[in-house]
Structure 1
Amino acid sequence: MEQRLIYAGQSVPGRVRGHNEDALLCCPQLSLWAIADGMGGHQCGEVASALALDTLQAGCADGLELADAVHAANREVLAVARTEEHQGMGTTLVAVRFNGAAFNIAWVGDSRAYRVSAGHIERVTHDHSWVQAMIDAGQMSPETARSHPQRNVILQCLGRDDQPLQVGLHHGVLGEHELLLLCSDGLTGELEDAQIQQLCSSAQTLDELVNQLLARANDMGGKDNISCIVLGRDAAAPSVARKPRGLLSRLFTSR
Structure 2
Amino acid sequence: MGELTIGAFARASRLSPKALRLYDELGLLAPARVDGTTGYRYYVEAQLPRARLVAWLRRVGMPLARIGEVCDLYETDPPAAGLVIGAYWARVETETAARRDLVTFLVDQLSGNPAGKGVEEMSEMSMSEMAMSEVRMRYAAGSDRGLVRPVNQDTAYAGARLLAVADGFGADGARASGAAVDALVALEESVRGADVLNGLADAVDRVNRGNREGGSGESGTTLTAMLWTGSRLALVHVGDTRAYLLRGGEVSRITHDHTLVQSMIDAGSLTAEEATSHPQRALLLRALDGSADHARPDLRLHDVVPGDRYLLCSDGLFTVVGPDDIRRVLTTAAEPADAVSELIALALAEGGPDNVACAVADAVTV
Question: Aligning the two structures, in what range does the TM-score lie when normalised by the shorter sequence?
Answer: 0.7 to 0.9
SS of equivalent residue, structure 1 residue 33? strand
Letter in 1 for 2:266: D
Could you tell me which residue of structure 2 aligns to residue 52 of structure 1? 180
Q: Give the deviation of 1:192 after TM superposition.
A: 2.5
Give yes or no for contact 1:60–1:66 (8 Å, CA) kept in 2: no
Name the structure where strand makes up a greater proportion of residues.
1
Q: Give the deviation of 1:188 after TM superposition.
A: 0.9
Q: Give the deviation of 1:161 after TM superposition.
A: 2.1
Could you tell me which residue of structure 2 aligns to residue 243 of structure 1? none
Give yes or no for contact 2:288–2:294 (8 Å, CA) kept in 1: no
Relative to the length of structure 2, the TM-score reads 0.59
CA distance in 2, matches of 1:188, 1:35: 13
SS of equivalent residue, structure 1 residue 147? coil
SS of equivalent residue, structure 1 residue 56? helix
Structure 2: runs of 5+ lacking an equivalent: 1-130, 192-197
Alignment equivalent of 1:21, drawn from 131, 134, 153: 153
Could you tell me which residue of structure 2 aligns to residue 110 of structure 1? 240
Name the structure where helix makes up a greater proportion of residues.
2
Could you tell me which residue of structure 2 aligns to residue 245 of structure 1? none
- Asked which structure has the greater RCO (Cα within 8 Å, sep 6+), the reply is 1
Deviations 1:72-131 (A, max 9, x none): 2211222112xxxx2221000001101224111111100000111352111110000010
Q: Does 1:214 align with 2:341?
A: no
CA distance in 1, matches of 2:331, 2:231: 21
Could you tell me which residue of structure 2 aligns to residue 66 of structure 1? 200
Give yes or no for contact 1:52–1:77 (8 Å, CA) kept in 2: no
Relative to the length of structure 1, the TM-score reads 0.83
Give yes or no for contact 1:125–1:170 (8 Å, CA) kept in 2: no
Q: Does 1:175 align with 2:305?
A: yes
CA distance in 1, matches of 2:157, 2:175: 14
Aligned length: 228
For residues 164 and 212 of structure 1, do their structure 2 counterparts lie closer, same or farther at Cα, with a shift above 3 Å needed? Answer: closer
Which range is displaced more, 219-228 or 59-68? Answer: 59-68
Structure 1: runs of 5+ lacking an equivalent: 237-255
Q: Give the deviation of 1:223 after TM superposition.
A: 0.7
Could you tell me which residue of structure 1 aligns to residue 273 of structure 2? 143
Greater Cα radius of gyration, structure 1 or 2: 2
SS of equivalent residue, structure 1 residue 211? helix
Which range is displaced more, 110-119 or 207-216? Answer: 110-119
CA distance in 1, matches of 2:189, 2:211: 19
Give yes or no for contact 1:186–1:226 (8 Å, CA) kept in 2: yes
CA distance in 2, matches of 1:33, 1:21: 17
